[in-house]
Structure formats: C-alpha cells, structure tokens
Amino acid sequence: MKHALALLGALLLPALGSAQAPTSSDPAPEIVTKAARVYRGLSGLQADFRQKLEDRRLGDESSKGTLYQAGNKFAMRFSDPATEAVVLDGSKLWVYTPSDNPGVVLRYPPPTSPVFGYNILDWFLKSPLDRYRVTFVKTETLDGRVTDAVLLQPLVPGEFQFRRATLWFDRGDGLPRRIQTDEGPQTRTVDLSNVRTNGTFPAGIFAFKVPNGVKVVDQ
C-alpha cells in the first residue's frame, strides 16, 4: 500500500498558461495562484505515471500506470504491479494493493473534512497561499520540456502527511511533469507523461469492482 496511498492526487496540479518565463524575483506565488485558478475550471485530467518511493527503512519501490481525475472522483490504475488500484468513487475510497496486502481491499468512509477530503489535489490547490509557504526552486528540463519547480511547505506543521512538496510545472502548457514529496523516512517522486485534459474517460474507471475471493476491510 505504500506505493499508492500518499499519492492519491498529489498528482495533478494543472496550470494552463502561456510559455512566458517568470519575471518577478520569486514567481512562485504567481505560478501557484494560476494553478489553483485553472484547476477550478478543469473538468478532468488523465496522465501516465511512473512512481518511485525511496524509503530509508524498507528500500526503494517503483510502480507505473495511468491516473484519472474528474471533480471529486479519482483513480490510479496500475499496470505494474498489475491489477492494483486506488479509486475514489465520489464517496468512498478503495485501496487494492495485493502485493502488500493479498486478499484484502481497504474501504474508507466518506471524508469528514469539507475542505480537503481524500482529494490531495484540493490540498494543494484550494487557497494554496493560505496554507503553504511557496518558493521558486529552479528551472529544469525534463524529457525535453522546460519546467519551473516550486517548493510548497505547509504553514501548519502536521496538517498534511508530507513535510513539503516540490512540483515541476511545464513552461509550455503549465501542467505538472513531476511531483516530489518528503514524507519523513520516505521520498516519493512521480513523473507524469501523456497528459490529457477535459476528455472522456473509460467506462467504469471511477468504480471499483471487488475481485472474487477478496475481503473488504472497512477502515
């Protein structure tokens, strides 16, 4: 389960904009504010992902697949490890990771927080400047694309499950190409590619079907 839970949406921070370079002494507030504004107007997003978890205690772990997000629905469908999934169907969260928990799917109840819930996208993009200290880090080319990296540090320690997060926004289309979170002994890096916005989704992508012989465990 460690390769799935902490991501949930830390994955998508859309920020469509022009290809102009930052001009202020620290452009991070402008970049993050634009991301939040565009996120509110985005109907959906799909992207292929590759995720690496570096853990000082347990060793490294890699995974890949496709993620989908639309409104309050979210899904990570893994191709490696195959058949694994994290699905937020709009009310309940399902976490199926048989490589870590064979024969079990974890089911979480509706969120109690009206602000954050289970959608980590909202954690970053709802009033981000009220919740984070943001700092421009660097400009870096990833897979031939120029990106601007921004560091987000929570203003209230312990409010989130990560200590800080760095997001790389594509200079051309404004969309994220890499997300990295510091989770104490773990560092999680997610690279996104083949990003598509406002399209149609495969049928049933936001519904989780419990496999035969798998036990549902309520959390």
Number of residues that make up the chain: 219
* pLDDT tens digits, 96-155: 999 989 999 999 987 665 445 566 667 777 788 998 899 999 999 999 998 889 999 999
Kindly report whether the peptide bond that precedes residue 81 is cis, defined as omega within 30 degrees of 0. Answer: yes
22-26, 60-64, 100-104: least confident range: 22-26
The token pair at 194 is 């083949």
Mean pLDDT of 73-89: 93
Domains located in the chain, CATH noted: 28-199 (2.50.20.10)
- pTM, two decimals, is 0.81
User: pLDDT at residue 53 above 70?
Assistant: yes
Q: For 49-53, 58-62, 82-86, 136-140, which range has the lowest pLDDT when averaged over its residues?
A: 58-62
Residues 6+ apart with CB under 8 A from 214: 96, 98, 103, 104, 105
- 7 pLDDT above the threshold of 60: no
